[in-house]
Amino acid sequence: MTDFKAAFQDGLKAAQDAELARKEINQVFKDLNKQLSEVSKGKLRIERTRLEEPKVGFLRWIGPFEPPKMYWAIVVINPKVKDSPPKELAKWSLDRAGYPCKIGWGDREEYCEDKQASIKGLVGFGNKDVFIHTSSKVSLFLATFS
């Protein structure tokens, strides 16, 4: 006989675990922003937001008739500037269960299966190739508002 009670309990446990994972990921971003704010004197903040995929070629002309395709991204903004336009640093996705989350830039992707991997993935921006790519975007971003 099927044990519906056990299945229900398993579902509740999975939902609780997912909520804890999302809180943990949010805390990683909160810690990142605290340190980034100190280093940038409050000029930089990292956010996760939905962006619209740019339409290319023929799709530009049929734009009003087709809903935009959206994706999640990690962006940098300058909170000291009103209506600061976001500058995309990487693509972002989060599993329904919280982990794994995925950070992608260029042709690279980091799969983060726990808090330490999430920190490492975000610190991955310090990797030489990624740093050059990301820091030039941030430098251009800061120059725009300096």
Nearest to 86 by CA among 112, 56, 52: 52
pLDDT value of position 31: 92
pTM, rounded to two decimals? 0.76
In angstroms, rounded to a whole number, what is the distance separating the alpha carbons of residues 38 and 83? Answer: 21
Extended strands (E) in 38-107: 45-52, 70-77, 87-95, 98-105
Q: Quick check: 27 pLDDT over 60?
A: yes
Give mean pLDDT, residues 86-100.
90
Give mean pLDDT, residues 34-50.
91
Q: Quick check: 56 pLDDT over 70?
A: no
pLDDT value of position 146: 41
The domain ranges of the chain are 4-145
Of the ranges 97-106, 122-131, 137-146, the best mean pLDDT one: 97-106
Give mean pLDDT, residues 46-67.
75
